[in-house]
Amino acid sequence: MESSRWKYIAIIATAALATVLIALLLVNIFTRKQEARQAYVAVTNLTEDTIEPAEWGKNFPREYDGFKLTSSTGPETRTRYGGSEAFSKLDQDPRLKTIFAGYAFALDYREERGHAYSLRDQDETERTKKKPQPGSCLHCHGSMLPAWRAAGNGDIQKGFEAICAMPFKEARQKVTHPIGCIDCHDPKTMALRVTRPGFLNGIKAYMKTAKGIDNYDPNTMASRQEMRTYVCGQCHVEYYFKPEGKAVTYPWAKGLKIENIEAYYDEIKFSDWKHGETGAPVLKAQHPEFEMFNQGIHSRAGVACADCHMPYKREGAMKVSDHWVRSPLRNIERACLVCHPFSAEEMKARVETIQDRNKALLDRAEEAVVALIHDIKDAKEKGATDEQLAPAFKAQRSAQFRSDFINAENSMGFHAPQEAARILAESIDIARQGQLAVRGLNLANAPKLRASTK
Ligand code: HEC
Ligand code: HEC
Ligand code: HEC
Ligand code: HEC
Ligand code: HEC
């Protein structure tokens, strides 16, 4: 009797405890689910005029915390070829001074750093201090939407054109913040969006020629995964300023590969400057991450920029995109190991092997371009005419654009290793053919330049 009563009590107590535990578990699961679902508490009302990221941070503190870290900089952030220290690329590779002779890039050219510096570094570079630049420069360096809207009376394309046409110093007065939340997100829905007219116009032209799609608009027609690349492709691209009006333009109407871009520039007879040592009409490549990435295996496999540069991190039950946009080599566990079942050391070694090989080939290509520049200069001093030198000028333009394209692309070959190697091999070949053309000037059988592999 006594023992069966205790048994009862024990059973009831266990049942009660189990109920409490299950209830607690359910509550826990429920709150986690709520946490995960209720991505934010709308503390403040965000509008198209909310430029200040701290204001957005009130609703989205986790993303804001990551975003703020883009201001970290210094030697400890460096990777073998990248990182967030703004060291001088000209000091590191003096050949660039010869290659960029006569152009603003020979004055000051640095390793890039976090988005927080995008306005400041533009203000402080010798390229804007010593050379007159247009308002177009701001297109990718600041939170531009309110300024464009104001300048165009509500019409963004018109405002964009008006600000591009202004001198840099005047346009700069209209911009208060570096790259911010509003540049990638719709303040009402938080959906990703593309806001840069340069990208919207460029991708429309590309989609028409490449895929036969009329009036392509990424904001309504792209998949979510595509948007996770397009928001970065807004700025990490090759561009030029239209000679008339200085509108920022992406040269994609013939395609995204280097020879498509070169053919586009050749057709409109565009050159960025006349080379300071040879007088050849040459091109400057700028950060073609989007174009090169599109030629690589990760793009082919449907991986997006954000997968590696803004990987998810867990906070409670929440999956938060890491808004500390930076080198994935400083974040390998989260950036790579979600897809690749190896150690962080192994992944780093794979990247550095690709980069070392690319760097070796890049060095050879720059050597070849500099050798060609010296040969042309020599020939000029000995009286060769521009007409005689035309094939060598063409070779310089082509070879230089190729080595520069890979140098200006910021992954040191990683985004598309074989494409980078192909471009550098062409650069070396074309530069050496250019030298043969110069040296053969007095020969009866001067070799003919073959500027393309086709
Ligand atoms: C598969 C992963 C992956 C994807 C996807 C990817 N990248 Fe990268 N990216 C890298 C790696 C690795 C580096 C080399 C970093 C280094 O050298 O420190 C890099 C370097 C960079 C750098 C230079 C960083 C630095 O510290 O110097 C930029 C800018 C960049 N990528 C932009 C992009 C853009 C824009 C896209 C999409 C069009 C993209 N990346 C897609 C892996 C990736
Ligand atoms: C199409 C977008 C775009 C436009 C237009 C643009 N930039 Fe940039 N800029 C970038 C990106 C992306 C980076 C980071 C990648 C890099 O440095 O290669 C950058 C980096 C920089 C840097 C830091 C690294 C360096 O090169 O020293 C400076 C300074 C700079 N830009 C100045 C300018 C100036 C001056 C202009 C106008 C002539 C301009 N930018 C126009 C996108 C752009
Ligand atoms: C350079 C572009 C860019 C900027 C600037 C940016 N974001 Fe994002 N954000 C992204 C991308 C890419 C995602 C992933 C979206 C997806 O996968 O659909 C994202 C996702 C988010 C999400 C959804 C939840 C998550 O973490 O995935 C929130 C909320 C968010 N961002 C808030 C912010 C806030 C707040 C700021 C400014 C402090 C900001 N973002 C700045 C590109 C950006
Ligand atoms: C509005 C234009 C713009 C957009 C959008 C943009 N970037 Fe950038 N990005 C820049 C500029 C400009 C810099 C260089 C800032 C500097 O050096 O002062 C830069 C720098 C970087 C760096 C170097 C950071 C470091 O610490 O070295 C990486 C990596 C990068 N961007 C990747 C991305 C990725 C990935 C996306 C999309 C999620 C993206 N960017 C979207 C303009 C942009
Ligand atoms: C979202 C998934 C995903 C992420 C994140 C990712 N990769 Fe990959 N990676 C792939 C896929 C898919 C392939 C292609 C495999 C195939 O089809 O053979 C690939 C291929 C590669 C290759 C072989 C390249 C070649 O030319 O064959 C290397 C190296 C690599 N990844 C490195 C990295 C590094 C480093 C990172 C992090 C910075 C990374 N990956 C992040 C999915 C990913």
Say whether both 77 and 161 belong to one domain.
Answer: yes
Placement of tokens 């989260």 in the chain: 334
Which residue range forms the structural domain that includes residue 3?
A: 1-38
- What the block records as the tokens of 230 is 């397009």
Say whether both 209 and 317 belong to one domain.
Answer: yes
Last residue in a domain, options 325, 343, 361 = 343
303 lines ligand 1 (CB under 6 A): yes
Say whether both 34 and 58 belong to one domain.
Answer: no
Please name the residues in contact with 100: beta carbons below 8 A apart, sequence gap of 6 or more: 106, 109, 284
pLDDT tens sequence across 316-331? 888 999 999 999 999 9
In a domain, 443, yes or no: no
Model's pTM, two decimal places? 0.93
User: 415 C-alpha vs ligand 5 centroid, how far in Å?
Assistant: 10
Say whether both 190 and 276 belong to one domain.
Answer: yes
Say whether both 30 and 125 belong to one domain.
Answer: no
323 lines ligand 4 (CB under 6 A): no
Q: Which of 134, 131, 129 is nearest to 170 (CA)?
A: 134
Last residue in a domain, options 324, 343, 362 = 343
- Indicate left, alpha or beta for 155 from its phi (over 0: left) and psi (-120 to 50: alpha): beta
In a domain, 404, yes or no: no
The number of the ligand 4 atom at minimal distance from the alpha carbon of 70 is: 26
237 lines ligand 4 (CB under 6 A): no
User: 340 C-alpha vs ligand 5 centroid, how far in Å?
Assistant: 7
Say whether both 295 and 240 belong to one domain.
Answer: yes
Say whether both 23 and 166 belong to one domain.
Answer: no
Please name the residues in contact with 384: beta carbons below 8 A apart, sequence gap of 6 or more: 438, 441
Measure the CA–CA gap between 338 and 354, rounded to whole angstroms: 21
Q: What is the mean pLDDT of residues 260-288?
A: 98
Measure the CA–CA gap between 187 and 440, rounded to whole angstroms: 63
User: 113 C-alpha vs ligand 4 centroid, how far in Å?
Assistant: 8
Measure the CA–CA gap between 203 and 197, rounded to whole angstroms: 10
CA-nearest residue, atom 20 of ligand 1: 411
Say whether both 210 and 303 belong to one domain.
Answer: yes
Whether 178 and 143 have beta carbons less than 8 Å apart is answered as yes
Say whether both 30 and 169 belong to one domain.
Answer: no
Measure the CA–CA gap between 103 and 371, rounded to whole angstroms: 19
380 lines ligand 4 (CB under 6 A): no
DSSP track, 214-271: TT--HHHHS-HHHHHHHHHHTTSS--EE-TTTT-EE---TT-SSHHHHHHHHHHTT--
The number of the ligand 3 atom at minimal distance from the alpha carbon of 179 is: 5
DSSP 3-state of 340: coil
Last residue in a domain, options 316, 343, 370 = 343
Say whether both 132 and 5 belong to one domain.
Answer: no
Closest listed ligand to the CA of 44: 3
Closest listed ligand to the CA of 50: 3
pLDDT beyond 90 at 111: yes
In a domain, 175, yes or no: yes
User: 29 C-alpha vs ligand 2 centroid, how far in Å?
Assistant: 47
pLDDT band at 453 (very low <50, low <70, confident <90, very high): very low
Supply the CATH number for residue 108's domain: 1.10.1130.10
pLDDT band at 161 (very low <50, low <70, confident <90, very high): very high
Neighbour count for residue 139 (Cβ, 10 Å): 24
Structural domain tally of the chain? 2
The number of the ligand 2 atom at minimal distance from the alpha carbon of 110 is: 27
Q: What is the mean pLDDT of residues 240-250?
A: 97
Say whether both 180 and 248 belong to one domain.
Answer: yes
In a domain, 373, yes or no: no
In a domain, 383, yes or no: no
Measure the CA–CA gap between 280 and 336, rounded to whole angstroms: 43
Q: What is the mean pLDDT of residues 75-103?
A: 96
Residue 13 is predicted with a pLDDT of: 73
Measure the CA–CA gap between 387 and 441, rounded to whole angstroms: 11
Q: What is the mean pLDDT of residues 33-38?
A: 50
337 lines ligand 1 (CB under 6 A): no
Residue 30 is predicted with a pLDDT of: 52
Q: Please give, one letter per residue, the 3-state secondary structure of 96-140.
A: HHHHCCCCHHHCCCECCCCHHHHHHHHHHCHHHHCCCCEHHHHHH
CA-nearest residue, atom 1 of ligand 5: 303
pLDDT band at 12 (very low <50, low <70, confident <90, very high): confident
Neighbour count for residue 378 (Cβ, 10 Å): 12
pLDDT tens sequence across 66-79? 999 999 999 999 99
Say whether both 314 and 222 belong to one domain.
Answer: yes
